[in-house]
Amino acid sequence: MIDLDPLLVTRLEDIVRQYDEVTAQLNDPAVASSAARIVQLSKEHARLGRTVESYRRLQALGREIAQTKDLIEAADGDDEMRRMAESELEELREKGRALGDALIDELLTGDEADVDSIILEIRAGTGGDEAALFAGDLMRMYENYARARGLRWEVLDASSSDLGGFREVIISVKGAGVYQLLGYEGGGHRVQRVPETEAQGRIHTSAATVAVLPEAESTDVKVDWDKDVIEHVSCAGGPGGQNVNKVASAVRLEHKATRITVSMRDERSQHKNRDRARRVMMARLRDYYQQRDKGARDRQRRSMIGSGDRNERIRTYNFPQDRCTDHRLNENFPLSSIIEGRLDPLIEALRRFDRQQRLKNLAPVPVK
């Protein structure tokens, strides 16, 4: 058999029971009359089904391993059969370890693996022009990483500073598993270095915040754009020529219930600005409602590193010492490679640590 942590087995058995209950509901004629309920249950069925299928494959592999062990014990005096069975047993065990690790990752990360589109928001914090320059450094760091991983990168809106940095930049990043790659970046980032404008060579400390928001599907958040949102249209300011200054292309959206606002002025087209603003609004609303409703889950998730709390300082970039310190890991990385976007060692370390933390906090999933 393949050994699994008892808590994992309990959680997996709960998922199997929930899967069976959802299957029964899908087959209930009373449910068939509600199209919305069918859609909801079908999505839940598919989500749970992936884990159940993997668990059943692991169980089947465990039975194969047990049968092969019996074959080895029965091969009394037949050395060739014993060697063949032992070789097969090692292959089965290796396959079991790989399948078990994949199942644990699938179980712990949940729907995060399915998120293939995020909104990345970077804002300059304390530190004036130096903070804006640091926000620009972070943007280029993530862009280099995204392009190296084959992710699609699109700047939706940017507010630049006089010295070439960014007060705020909003980016769409798309690609398979993008949230698992960049989801740990949400939080406060601090930089320690000598600014170019510092005549006396003193080290300054500045900050920027990063938010990582899964881009919401239309089924995740319901918004009536005519009734729920106030739209303001104005002439875009800043560089761009006569068209930007004179044509009403800038769009500002305000969600009445939450007072969440989004402004877009990067495109000369009002239509494109509206479309981009709505995408960002949907992502922020999804995040808002999840933060509001998570309740008991928050007590567990506070000890996990993927919470994305932008008020939490997660990393310090110390240029004089060429050191990048991730405070969740309490581990240092070479700053020169990190700031250039070679983030793989850091992100892999975060994923391993997150996996350990989630295992410690694992609890049975509630049956709906």
pLDDT at 308: 45
Domain 113-219+307-360 has CATH 3.30.70.1660: yes
**pLDDT category, 2, cuts 50, 70, 90?**
low
pLDDT single digits (tens) 169-184: 999 999 988 998 999 9
For the 229-293 domain, the top CATH level (class) is alpha beta
Q: What is the pLDDT of residue 246?
A: 54
Across the range 60-67, mean pLDDT stands at 90
Domain boundaries, the chain: 6-112, 113-219+307-360, 229-293
Mean pLDDT (the chain) is 83
pLDDT 10s digits, 110-159: 667 678 889 999 999 988 889 999 999 999 999 999 999 999 999 988 88
Query: In this predicted structure, which of 35-39, 236-240, 343-347 has the lowest mean pLDDT?
Result: 236-240
pTM: 0.69
Residue 307 has pLDDT above 70, yes or no: no
Residue 76 backbone dihedrals phi, psi, to 5 degrees = -70, 115
Contact 276, 267 (CB under 8 A): yes
Contacts 24+ apart (CB under 8 A), 152-158: 155/266, 156/119, 156/264, 156/266, 156/276, 156/279, 156/280, 157/263, 157/264, 157/265, 157/266, 157/276, 157/280, 158/266
Token pair recorded at residue 151? 């992710």
Q: Where are the alpha helices (DSSP H) in the chain?
A: 6-26, 29-32, 35-74, 79-109, 128-148, 178-182, 242-246, 270-293, 296-301, 335-339, 344-360
Per DSSP, the residues of 5-33 read: -HHHHHHHHHHHHHHHHHHHHHT-HHHHT
What would the mean pLDDT of 52-68 be, rounded to a whole number?
Answer: 90
- For the ranges 100-109, 174-183, 215-224, 335-344, the maximum mean pLDDT occurs at 335-344
Q: Specify the pLDDT at position 267.
A: 66
**63-87 in b/e burial notation, b at 16+ Cβ within 10 A?**
ebbeebeebbeebeeeeeebeebee
Q: Return the CATH fold of 6-112.
A: Methane Monooxygenase Hydroxylase; Chain G, domain 1 (1.20.58)
For residue range 228-279, what is the model confidence (pLDDT) as tens digits? 889 988 876 554 444 444 556 888 899 988 889 998 887 678 888 888 898 8
